[in-house]
Chain A
Amino acid sequence: MKSILPVLTVIVAVLLIWVVAVVPMNVHLTADQAQRDGAVVMPDTPIARKEVSGFALALKNPHLIPLTYFGKRPNLPSPHQVAAEMFNTIFGKKITSKRSLVYHGWVTLAPTLLGFVIGTFLGVLLAVGIVFSRVMDKSVMPWAIVSQTIPILALAPMIIVVLGAAGIHGVLPKSFIAAYLSFFPVVVGMVKGLRSPDQMQLDLLRTYSTNNNQGFWKLRLPSSTPYLFASLKIGISASLIGTIVAELPTGAKAGFGARMLVGDQYGQPILSWAALFAAALTAAALVGIISLIERGTLRKMGMKPA
């Protein structure tokens, strides 16, 4: 609970910057509209106004400032517009409606979770292989690293198209891309975690004449638990990003990614921003859930988070 004050401070600071930025970002649009509605604006032609910076224009026409917060298609929606849109689309619509953010959220969340499970499973499996086999250490690790240097934005459509051609549609292709992003932090964290026991602890097991199998279950796996949770927290947010990216370039009809794209294409930034914040809140909630599980597990194990 000690973290509440710093977190609130940052939120307030961000909101403040946002609120101030709305005026210069939108004032030109607002001025055009106000003039059409019969108000007096200085300077009096759009071309002349283009020469003036946002701040200067707002200072010359202070009566425009309140209006910048209520534009229909603003360059930068104001916080209350985004909040209202979110409230409307989260609570104001039936969750089965195509206009409900909850509906779109679930469309994105399902592949995120599935991809996260696949990615985590794959990551742990690879890490175990890498730790126990020199051959895998030398051969798999470099490829795992290379896999993350390929821009996912370029790769995602290819994967969707290829899988689509193979007759795989729906949740699975998106999960695949989510897994592609989330397995990597798990591999890296788990390799480090499984290798974290020091020489003395390994020697101790040797004095008991312990086999590899027992060493894994009794020492390596429990030692790696704090590392696993650190990786899972990165993995699940990577998974969500993966799913959204998978929705962007492929003309998906639903999901946060589709919402953002629709907002952009049809000049409805409020829609995009609402989807963006909903996605951020979802990610925060997912990370929060994993943190809770982490705290419970480690407390039960008598350890502190890594």
Chain B
Amino acid sequence: MTQNPTIEAKGLHLTFETNDGPVHALQDVNLEINKGDFVSFIGPSGCGKTTFLRCIAGLEAPTSGEISVNGMSPDEARRARAYGYVFQAAGLYPWRTIGGNIRLPLEIMGFSKSEMSERLDRVLDLVDLSGFDKKFPWQLSGGMQQRASIARALAFDADILLMDEPFGALDEIVRDHLNEQLLQLWARTQKTIGFVTHSIPEAVYLSTKIVVMSPRPGRISDVIESTLPKERPLEIRDSPEFIAIAQRVRDGLRAGHAHV
């Protein structure tokens, strides 16, 4: 492909200065993410996967190296509202209804009333929460709350979706269900997705590209292009192909560990 990558990192370094001396959160990270990719970042805690996602989002500034998002610096991309960000916790405002929470970014960005309600209906449908817009967050289960937070990130229609362990706090059954829904959502919206996880099956099941990272210093130890088809029923996880990719991810994680 000759088209410019949507997200591109070149020689990215990030060092946090702490009381115990510098911590190398990211070291020489190079990566290209193309439009429409579903990229997972996997690795043990401390490998810099969240930090890298935050660099893309402009929430963290790299010490050196280059990173571009939609051809802009991450900070410009953030100001241009180029991405939606989903955090580990749903973080819905308890004083706003589900509808009110999803309208929050739209209010901030100054959408018109009619536009807001139209978008609200659309994203509620996308995350399968139609009819819940008048409910308060505490009236919903954890999985539904996280779906609402995804809807909130989708509401303003940025073509990049950054997700930081969004299903980490949910149980396996809910997680499977949400993974399936996320793939459908991705197919329907054609978004570019960056997804942080520490679950190997989740990463393999969801991604077109799996970035394996290792800690101290945080760096990329392997990039795996998935050979799985776009259409992925949950049963695909028992296929030999799936298991082979999972094995390679596991090897990558182990190799990263050997350096320590």
Q: Which residues of A contact B (CB under 8 A)?
A: 200-201, 203-210, 214, 218-219, 222, 225, 301-303
Q: Contacts A222-B95, A303-B95 given: A210-B87 contact, CB under 8 Å?
A: no
- Cβ-based interface call for B107 (8 A): yes
Tell me if B81 and A209 are in contact (CB < 8 A): yes
Q: Which residues of B contact A (CB under 8 A)?
A: 57-59, 78-81, 83-85, 87-89, 91, 93-97, 104-105, 107-109, 136-138, 156
Chain A, interface SS category: helix
Residue of B nearest to A211 (CB): B108
Contacts of B81 in A (CB 8 A): 208-209
Tell me if A201 and B59 are in contact (CB < 8 A): no
**Once the chains are docked, how many angstroms separate the CA of A34 from the CA of B183?**
95
Contacts of A209 in B (CB 8 A): 78-81
| Shortest distance from the beta carbon of B190 to any chain A beta carbon, whole Å | 21
| Shortest distance from the beta carbon of A218 to any chain B beta carbon, whole Å | 7
Contacts of A206 in B (CB 8 A): 58-59, 78
Which of A203, A205, A225, A302 is the one whose CB lies under 8 Å from B97? A302
Tell me if B136 and A302 are in contact (CB < 8 A): yes
Q: Contacts A200-B91, A203-B87, A302-B97 given: A218-B107 contact, CB under 8 Å?
A: yes
Tell me if A207 and B57 are in contact (CB < 8 A): yes
Tell me if B108 and A204 are in contact (CB < 8 A): no
| Shortest distance from the beta carbon of B170 to any chain A beta carbon, whole Å | 17
| Shortest distance from the beta carbon of B73 to any chain A beta carbon, whole Å | 13
Tell me if B79 and A301 are in contact (CB < 8 A): no
| Shortest distance from the beta carbon of A54 to any chain B beta carbon, whole Å | 57
**Once the chains are docked, how many angstroms separate the CA of A49 from the CA of B78?**
87
| Shortest distance from the beta carbon of B180 to any chain A beta carbon, whole Å | 26
Contacts of A219 in B (CB 8 A): 93
Tell me if B95 and A203 are in contact (CB < 8 A): no
Contacts of B96 in A (CB 8 A): 302
Q: Contacts A207-B78, A218-B107 given: A302-B85 contact, CB under 8 Å?
A: no
Which of B58, B89, B108 is the one whose CB lies under 8 Å from A200? B89
